[in-house]
Amino acid sequence: MTTTPVQITIRRPDDWHVHLRDGAMMRAVLPCTARQFARAIVMPNLVPPVTTAAAAVGYRARIVAALPAGADFTPLMTAYLTDETEPQEIARGHADGVFTAVKLYPAHATTNSAYGVTAIDKVMRVLERMAALGVPLLVHGEATDPEVDIFDREAVFIDHTLIPLRRHLPELRIVLEHITTQEAADYVEHGGDNIAATITAHHLTINRNAIFQGGIRPHLYCLPIAKREKHRLALRRAAASGDRHFFLGTDSAPHAAPTKEAACGCAGIFTAATALELYAGVFEEKGALDRFEAFASLNGPAFYRLLVNEERITLRREPWTAPSTIGDGKLAVHPFRAGETLRWRVA
Ligand code: DOR
Ligand code: ZN
């Protein structure tokens, strides 16, 4: 019989998908990410979106200026792909070390995606250039046809868009972001060297029942929406396998509480305050703490062709209470698992 160790030390992890926002909201949430992660892939869905290298340079400087004193954190920037993006803008931004990757939002799929891509054909010249250069494409993988059931949008996107795209452009390196289904996990696991997926802490811990438990729970609403239990179990198997195709991406997406607790609440779950602790809990439950470092700290850099972090981080099995809010006043955000007792704690 094996017993769970009381602490675990791993290379410092990275968050391969996060929303840091801008201005006062960024200043409120950034310390949560910087306390645990060495680097993060920063989503470009600001208003207006980060579509140029110049905009990304400015945004990166604002993030760095907002870091708490002594924080050791590097933001990795992404370009927001639109129908109008020029291949040259991406090529130059990548060569200059500004763009680590490019994000594809299908138009109207999610928060601030109105400027997203209306049809894959419109961005094919950009994707061909990225394939030639090895620039990763990060995909919000949901079909946007309103006829498609919200719980089927990821699986339909894989069949109707992702598979044809990869057949046309097999060299393109793709991260299917925040996967939520068994179909996605199976597809990525067997998809070869040029595909990987991020998995969030919340999709590993809740299924769709949680969104409606005793009433509607706006803080558990995100896109892609949580699916039924069999999908959560498939994601947990994928993450805990240590397989190189899967790595940590929180998709932490803060929205001020009143914009979620509303007649039409925003999509997004804010996990940065509790993410690493929750992931560790999942790996403990799976008896896979020995594979936690692969998922959190090794597989991501390998796919992105970056060095792994040299620093270490220790998590202890020591109960603590997750914060009930982050930020003040109108911008206060409700963290995932707010006020609940968590088993693991970053030392
Ligand atoms: O739930 C989500 N929130 N999904 C996304 O894709 C975007 C994000 C946000 O920016 O709030
Ligand atoms: Zn996201």
Domains assigned to the chain? 14-310 (3.20.20.140)
pTM: 0.98
For ligand 1, mutation pick of 113, 198, 222 (most atoms within 8 Å of CB): 222
Tell me the pLDDT tens digit for each residue of 202-221.
999 999 999 999 999 999 99
Name the percent of the chain lying above pLDDT 70: 99
Looking at residue 5, its pLDDT comes to 83
Give the ligand whose atoms come closest to the C-alpha of residue 336.
1
Q: Which residues line ligand 1 (CB under 6 A)?
A: 19, 45, 110-112, 140, 222-223, 253, 267-268
For ligand 1, mutation pick of 18, 50, 111, 217 (most atoms within 8 Å of CB): 111
Report the candidate in 177, 171, 133, 173 with the shortest Cα–Cα distance to residue 158. 177
Looking at residue 2, its pLDDT comes to 62
Tell me the pLDDT tens digit for each residue of 119-175.
999 999 999 999 999 999 999 999 999 999 999 999 999 999 999 999 999 999 999
Q: Which residues are catalytic?
A: 251
Tell me the pLDDT tens digit for each residue of 306-320.
999 999 999 999 999
Ligand 2 center–CA 31 separation, angstroms: 18
Residue nearest to atom 8 of ligand 1 (CA): 268
| Longest alpha-carbon distance in the chain | 59
Ligand 1, residue 140: give the atom nearest the CA.
6
Ligand 1, residue 19: give the atom nearest the CA.
10
Ligand 2 center–CA 14 separation, angstroms: 15
Looking at residue 110, its pLDDT comes to 84
The size of the chain, in residues, is: 347
Give the ligand whose atoms come closest to the C-alpha of residue 49.
1
**Is the pLDDT reported for residue 186 higher than 60?**
yes
pLDDT, average across residues 176-199:
98
Looking at residue 18, its pLDDT comes to 98
Report the candidate in 161, 140, 157, 137 with the shortest Cα–Cα distance to residue 149. 157
